[in-house]
Amino acid sequence: MLIFSLDGEANNASCLLAELQNRLGKDNVQQGDVVQRHFPDGESYIKIVSEVKQQHVVVVCQLHQPNNKLIDLMFFAETAKQLGALSVHLVAPYLAYMRQDKRFNLGECITSQHASIWISERFDSLITIDRHLHRYKSLDEIYSIPSDVLHATDLMAEYIRDNIPSPLVIGPDSESEQWANAVAKLAGCDSIVLSKVRHGDHEVEISLPELEKYPDHQPVLIDDIISTGRTMIKAADNIVALGGKPPICIGVHGVFAPGAIEAMQLANIAEIITCNTIEHASNKISVIEKLAVAIIKMQKQVNKRVLEPPKFDFNIQLKDEL
Ligand code: R5P
C-alpha cells in the first residue's frame, strides 16, 4: 500500500503512515512520492514519482478550501490508474461539498451531487469522518463507491470526560441534536440543543438556551463544522447573556474561514478545540488511529474485490427539487 498526501498538510499524513506501519509492518505500507505544484497561471502539475503499478494507492487529502484540491485529486487518481495502480482510495477526513444538499433557490447548483459524482468516477472507495448529512440520510445516496464514514463522537466524549469538569454539552442547532445527545451520553453528562436561523453567510440567529437548570456547569458547545465561527459566537453570546460561563467550543472540522479564529478569540469563548481532520493549532483530539483502522479494513475488502471486481453504476440520477 502506498500512502500519498495531496494537500500540503503533511503532519497528519506522516502520523497516519507511522500508525499504519506500526500495525501492518514497514514493508507493507510506504509513503508515496508525488510532485504537486502550480504553474504561474494556476494550472496544476502532478507527477507521481513512486511506482504505483500493481499497488493499492491511498490518497489523504483534507478537503477544506476544496476547489484546487479537488482538481488535483482528479488528476492524481486518473494518472495513478493510467500508471497501473490496482486501486485508488480517497481518505478525506473532512469531506467538502456536503452542505449544499438541496436547491434552496431556483437555479442553484446542488454541488454535493456533482462533487460526489466526480469522486465516485475516479476513486475506488472513500473514508471520511462525520460528513455533514442533513437532507441525505447516507453517503450512498450520492456516492456510488463504497464509503466508510467514521465518527468522532466517542473521541469528543472521551476528551470532555477526561478534561472538562461538570460539563454540559450544548448543540447549537437542531441538526446537531442527535450527536450532541450521543456525545453527552458517552461523556456521562447532560445535553441541551438550541435552535438556529441562518440569515446569510455571516448572519446567524440562535434561540436563548434554558440554562438555569445548570448554573455551575461548564458549557461545551459542539458542532460538526466551524467555518465562519458565527454559529459558535452567537451561541456563546446567548449562553453568557443568560449567566452561563463562557463555553468551550469543540468542532469536529475546524474549517475556519478567513477571520473566523480572530473573531472567536474576541468572543465569549473560553477555548476552541478541534479534531485533527484539518490541521490547525486548535487540534486536540486525534482521529489518526480511527483512520488507520478504517484503511486496513478497507484494504482487506479491496483485496477480496480485486479477485472479482464489482461493476459500479455511476449513473446517479440527479434529483431536482424545484
Ligand atoms: C451547519 O449546518 C453546520 O452544522 C455548522 O453549524 C455550520 O457549518 C457552522 O458554520 P459557521 O461556523 O459559519 O457558523
Nearest residue (by CA) to ligand 1, atom 8, is: 225
| pLDDT value, residue 310 | 45
| pLDDT value, residue 308 | 53
Rounded distance from Cα 187 to ligand 1 centre (Å): 23
Extract the C-alpha cell encoding 187.
461523556
Pocket test for ligand 1, best of 183, 221, 227 (most atoms within 8 A of CB): 227
Report the C-alpha gap between 277 and 151 in whole angstroms.
11
Pocket test for ligand 1, best of 95, 230, 231, 252 (most atoms within 8 A of CB): 231
CA distances from 215 to 6, 141, 166, 187 (A): 47, 43, 10, 19
Instruction: Work out which ligand 1 atom sits closest to the CA atom of 257.
Output: 13
Q: Are 128 and 63 within 8 A, CB to CB? A: no
Which helix (H) or strand (E) element contains residue 226? strand 218-226
pLDDT digits (tens, 9 = 90+) for 263-285: 999 999 999 999 999 999 999 99
| pLDDT value, residue 176 | 81
Instruction: Work out which ligand 1 atom sits closest to the CA atom of 134.
Output: 2
| pLDDT value, residue 107 | 95
Rounded distance from Cα 165 to ligand 1 centre (Å): 26
| pLDDT value, residue 321 | 41
Encode the chain (322 residues) as per-residue pLDDT tens digits. Answer: 999 998 766 788 889 999 999 999 999 999 999 999 999 999 999 999 999 999 999 999 989 889 999 999 999 999 999 999 999 999 999 999 998 999 999 999 999 999 999 999 999 999 999 987 778 889 999 999 999 999 999 999 999 999 999 999 999 887 788 789 999 999 999 999 887 667 777 776 666 657 778 889 999 999 999 999 999 999 999 899 888 999 999 999 999 999 999 999 999 999 999 999 999 999 999 999 999 999 999 988 877 765 554 444 434 444 444 4
| pLDDT value, residue 172 | 87
| pLDDT value, residue 313 | 43
Q: Which residues, 6 or more positions from 13, have their beta carbon under 8 angstroms from its beta carbon?
A: 3, 4, 5, 60
| pLDDT value, residue 204 | 65
Q: Is the CB of 226 under 6 A from ligand 1?
A: yes
